[in-house]
Structure 1
Amino acid sequence: MDDEARYEAVSSRDARFDGEFFFAVTTTGIYCRPSCPAVTPKRVNVRFFPSAAAAQSAGFRACRRCRPDAVPGSAAWNVRADLVGRAMRFIGDGVVDREGVGGLARRLGYSARQVQRQLTAELGAGPVALARARRAHTARVLLQTTSLPVTELAFAAGFASIRQFNDTIREIYAGTPSELRAAAQRPHGAAARPSPSGIPLRLAYRGPYAAAEIFDFLQVRAVPGVEEMRGARGDRTYRRTLRLAYGSGIAEVDEHGGARPRRKPPAGLVCPAARGADGGWLECRLRLTDLRDLSTAVQRLRRLFDLDADPYAVAERLGADPRLARLVAERPGLRSPGTVDPEELAVRTVLGGPPERAAELVRSYGKPLDVADGGLTHLFPAPGELTGAEVEEPVRALCTALADGAVLLDAGTDRGAAERALAALPGVGPRTAAYIRMRGLGDPDVRTGTGTGTGSAAGTAGAAGVADAWRPWGAYALHYLWSAGRLRPGEMPG
């Protein structure tokens, strides 16, 4: 998009572009998401930015009305495998907060100067500014959803000092922490109170969202003790334990969520394959033993539910293929679920079998929760805890490779290198490695060969060119084939 097309999206308050870019108004000093309901500013007074951090670095404050820091992330970071894409995934997972810019650079295999230069050139902000924007958003959420003392809250959000915290909040939100907290309390007429159900959050997404299908997918794969699904279809709550950097947690995500009212975009911006609502959110609650894990936990849940996807781009690409056109029309907003823990996903995939097999592993080697919560009793065991376990050789080999760093499955790892290393392990093979790459590393594409496996799928996509025609959305094509029964659930092409 050029700036004129971006301004057209702003004029129509088109939610499809929330998170893809931001706009700022020079006369007010405020930056917004494209769908902000405020009066559209004059074009001469508008500047565009590729990230919230870039707008903040340019001196603009976040709009209190549209909360531009709470939009879905750009789908580009899921697609891209270059330095910038990998860096953004690492920053989202909290690497800069935990390890600094030097740690980020080491994980990427580049110098800190090179990382700074490339991020600034493309996003208008370096890793420190991007991490700062992330911390500010976490702080706002904690201010408005908990009654934590400000001192404790500031360090939980990742700030190094109270002064840094106060200065950042004033600069980004044009108010003090106390004013932000008071603004959240006024509609309810009461002070914020700790909730036994956890910190309430809204996990935003763009476009249509096939919630029933993704909850179905998670329900049949739920490992007892680590995951559970409550309620009936259409009103379910997915619950699971989380193993995080500073502690553990329990997450609850509701199926029904909420939706934005539909707005018809101008003719020049209509995607012919787009259907459904213009975005919405899933209701979430998080209980954490250490609040410093909040933003990392949120980002991992976003990857699990594929909330940063661009369903319009997926529908446009796959809906143009006659093999998939009807499936895309029948299931708008179908997503490609990821995982909250790539190492857990890898172990479960290589172990194979029904979820009860993994549950036996959890009961034997997983860390029990201090207090069981319904059906949630354990954390899934880390690979290092399974290297000496009585498990099959492929699982032991995988866990050894993960524990000693021979295979890396962190958020911003090189996906190609990880897939090759996985495929080289005994008992893994290319199809299993491709599945782990798709779900564990959140790759929206998948390529394991020129065919599509066996059975009725053989006539669906047998030529090498079909996989190319679906790029970079091959993972979504697989989910359409799985949901329609043209491939057996979990079957990979090849």
Structure 2
Amino acid sequence: MTTYEETQTYEESPTHEETDETRYEAVSSRDARFDGEFFFAVSTTGIYCRPSCPAVTPKRKNVRFFPTAAAAQGHGFRACRRCRPDAVPGSAEWNVRADVVGRAVRLIGDGVVDREGVPGLAVRLGYSTRQVQRQLTAELGAGPVALARAQRAHTARVLLQTTGLPVTDIAFAAGFASVRQFNDTIRQIYARTPSALREESGTKTGRGSAAFAAGIPLRLAHRGPYAARAVFDLLAEEAVAGVEEMTGEPGARTYRRTLRLPYGTGIVAVDEARPRRGGWLEARIHLTDLRDLTTAVQRLRRLFDLDADPYAVDERLAADPRLAPLVAARPGVRSPGAADPDEYAVRSLVGREAAGELTEAYGKRLDVPCGALTHLFPEPGTLAAHPDPALAALTAALADGGLRLDAGADREEAVRTLHTLPGLDARTVAQIRMRALGEPDVGGEEEDELWRPWRSYAYRHLSAVAA
């Protein structure tokens, strides 16, 4: 049986000394560009931090580097109270990589290990549990159980410090199998009891109903500049009636939508970033089942492309004289993904207006409408018998698993399947790849090789000019 001790098989490679010296320079300069890309731990204090931690820089001989927070935790280090390393954006590498490790990380982020265990993760990836364990541990310093555990701990901390939910409810909402497991994990990672964590934020213990009514307030972290206006413009242009809405004026808008989640449904709201708030987007999440919190957050992160590395993207694209002025004018442009990949595939085929009609005719109506939000977008199986042959073929493939677009999908296999379906031209397939599959490097021009591996971002710049 897999246990948390799996992380102990990781050993730092002596061949990484040069890389580690570069990392130490980033720590010495408190460079926020590397937050989430790696973590450092201090042997004399037993604490691990993000590179931009404001604490005094430790001596090099006392510093160790880890690729993930889970790896640092597995070696007995506790999370820093000042820099909260568990709250950093995820590494942009997992969006770029289409291999089994990248797919596994995205699935773990979506809560698959919490819901289906490591065997379920392995089945989705098409590998044995031993192969998945070995590959993740070799590259990330932690296996799937440890990675999921670190994520559960972060979710629990957020709930403890932002809601009045009873501790028992929080334990199971975060994905822990028992209250004892929850208590032990919080003590190990934060060196405090759950009650002590809650007292730091001043959150009073209360009944769960209050949290459901008010929604869970969250700060969705991102690294570097974030061109929020372009993202919100796009979402406003695409919004499907009944499922999405955009309220407010440019610069102070709120995007709201419904979500179908593994255990229930949700309504999410994300505010357009204000210049003085940099570093995160304000969000509120209303859930019918709190166990869906991790999944809802990850889907928002993909929709708003919050784990991107704008420094790497802008540097690459600015090297092309054609794009340089566009990058200078809009630093931090993102390539939005999709909150529901299957939904986006259908929308890309039929268009916004028809998507609204499908929602009204086939979508599930919310028990309690919330303003203009009245429905969940129809599930693929509901549309599989639709009289439109192209729509029926696409949704049937999604419903029976012949086409997978979820966080852990094999991108190459998905694209091959898309090309076999009727009614999907090259442009539509490219849009599905870019948005539903979250590919950062989708191109279509002969001269765009210079933009690799960020062609999807170049497309966003060029689309803004064309508009």
- 1:246-305, CA deviations, whole angstroms, 9 ceiling, x for partnerless residues? 000000000025757xxxxxxxxxxxxxxxxxx500000000011111011000000000
> % of aligned pairs identical?
71
Residue 394 of structure 1: which of 377, 390, 395 is its match?
390
Which runs of no fewer than 5 residues in structure 1 stay unpaired? 261-278, 452-463, 489-494
Superposition TM-score, scaled by structure 2 size: 0.93
Tell me how far apart the structure 2 counterparts of residues 382 and 245 of structure 1 sit (CA, whole Å): 13
Deviations 1:314-340 (A, max 9, x none): 011110011211111111001000011
The answer to whether residue 450 in structure 2 is matched with residue 469 in structure 1 is: yes
Residue 357, structure 1, aligned to residue 354, structure 2? yes
Given that residues 16 and 207 in structure 1 are in contact (C-alpha distance below 8 angstroms), is that contact kept between their aligned partners in structure 2? yes
Alignment match of 2:411 (pick from 411, 415, 424) = 415
Instruction: Look up the match of 2:8.
Output: none
Question: CA–CA distance in 1 between the matches of 2:222 and 2:165?
Answer: 28
Q: String of CA shifts for 1:388-424, please: whole Å, max 9, x gaps.
A: 234x221111001111111111111111110110111
- The one-letter amino acid of 1:282's match is L
Aligned to 2:374: 377
Q: Give the alignment's TM-score, normalised by structure 1.
A: 0.88
| One-letter amino acid of the structure 1 residue matched with residue 425 of structure 2 | G
SS of the residue aligned with 2:403? coil
How far, CA to CA, are the matches of 2:214 and 2:199 in structure 1? 22
What is the identity, as a one-letter code, of the residue corresponding to 2:300?
Answer: L
Which of 118, 123, 135 is matched with 1:118 structurally? 135
Q: Partner of 1:74 in structure 2?
A: 91
Which is helix-richer, 1 or 2? 2
Pairing 1:436–2:432 present: yes
Question: SS of the residue aligned with 2:255?
Answer: strand
Picking from 244, 249, 257, the partner of 1:240 is 257
Structure 1 Cα separation of the partners of residues 443 and 464 of structure 2: 19
What does residue 272 of structure 1 align with?
A: none
Name the structure 2 match of 1:447. Answer: 443
**Secondary structure, aligned partner of 1:2:** helix
Is the CA contact 2:252–2:274 (under 8 Å) kept in the aligned structure 1?
no
**Which amino acid in the other structure matches residue 450 of structure 2?**
A
1:308 counterpart residue number: 307
> Aligned partners of 1:430 and 1:423: how far apart in 2?
8
- What CA deviation, in whole Å up to 9, does each residue of 1:136-164 have, x standing for no partner? 11111111111111111111110011111
CA distance in 2, matches of 1:109, 1:472: 26
With over 3 angstroms needed to count, the CA separation of the structure-2 counterparts of 1:406 and 1:191, relative to structure 1, is: closer
| CA distance 1:191–1:105, change in 2 (3 Å) | closer
**Does the 8 A contact of 1:240 with 1:252 survive in 2?**
yes
Change (3 A) 1:210 1:369: same
Structure 1 runs, 4 residues or longer, greater than 3 Å off: 190-197, 257-260
Amino acid at match of 2:440: P
Tell me, in whole angstroms, the C-alpha distance in 1 between the residues paired with 2:305 and 2:169: 31
> How much has 1:484 moved relative to structure 2?
1.1
Number of residues of Structure 1 aligned to a counterpart in Structure 2: 447
The 5 A counterparts of 1:216-255 are: 216-255=233-272
Letter in structure 1 aligned against 2:55: A
Shift of 1:467: 2.5
Q: Counterpart in 1 of 2:69?
A: 52
The 1:55–1:295 alpha-carbon spacing in structure 2 relative to 1, beyond 3 Å, is same
CA distance in 2, matches of 1:385, 1:468: 40
Aligned residue for 1:24, secondary structure, equals strand
Aligned-pair distance for 1:192? Answer: 7.0
Report the counterpart of residue 287 of structure 2 in structure 1: 288
Distance in 2 between residues matched to 1:440 and 1:257, nearest whole Å: 27
Tell me what 2:400 maps to: 404
| Matched AA of 1:388 | A
Match of 1:297 in 2: 296
* Residues 155 and 294, structure 2, Cα contact 8 Å, conserved in 1: yes
Task: State the one-letter code of the partner of 1:300.
Answer: R
Partners of 1:329 and 1:77 lie apart in 2 by 26
Q: Which residue of 2 aligns with 1:38?
A: 55
Q: Distance in 2 between matches of 1:223 and 1:396?
A: 20
Which of 97, 103, 111 is the aligned partner of 2:114? 97
Q: Structure 1 residues 192 and 285, CA, compared in 2 at 3 Å: closer, same or farther?
A: farther
Return closer, same or farther for 1:326/1:340 CA change in 2, 3 Å cut-off: same
Task: Verify: 1:214 aligned to 2:231, yes or no.
Answer: yes
Alpha-carbon contact 1:251-1:285 (below 8 Å) kept: yes
Q: Distance in 2 between matches of 1:242 and 1:144?
A: 24
In structure 2, C-alpha distance between the alignment counterparts of 1:430 and 1:219, rounded to whole Å: 25
1:369 is paired with a residue whose SS is: strand
User: Residue 203 in 1 paired to residue 202 in 2?
Assistant: no
| Residues 3 and 259 of structure 1: CA distance in aligned 2, closer, same or farther (over 3 Å) | farther
Q: Residue 210 and residue 356 in structure 1: after superposition, are their counterparts in 2 closer, same or farther (change >3 A)?
A: same
What amino acid is aligned across from residue 379 of structure 2 in structure 1? A
Q: Which amino acid aligns with 1:385?
A: T
The DSSP-based 3-state class of the residue aligned with 2:214 is coil
1:21 aligns with 2:38: yes
Q: Which amino acid aligns with 1:418?
A: A
**Cα distance in 1, alignment partners of residues 72 and 254 from structure 2:** 36
Structure 2 gap ranges (5+): 1-17
Instruction: Quote the Cα distance in structure 2 between the aligned partners of 1:336 and 1:214.
Output: 8
1:7: Cα distance to partner? 1.1
Report if aligned partners of 2:165, 2:206 keep a CA contact under 8 Å in 1. no
Amino acid at match of 1:365: Y
What is the distance in 1 between the residues matched to 2:238 and 2:201? 38
Native 8 Å contact 2:165 2:205 kept in 1: no
1:150-181 deviations in whole A, cap 9, x for unaligned? 11111111001111111000000100010001
Task: Determine the C-alpha separation between the residues in 1 that align with 2:362 and 2:147.
Answer: 38
- 1:168 and 2:178 are equivalent in the alignment: no
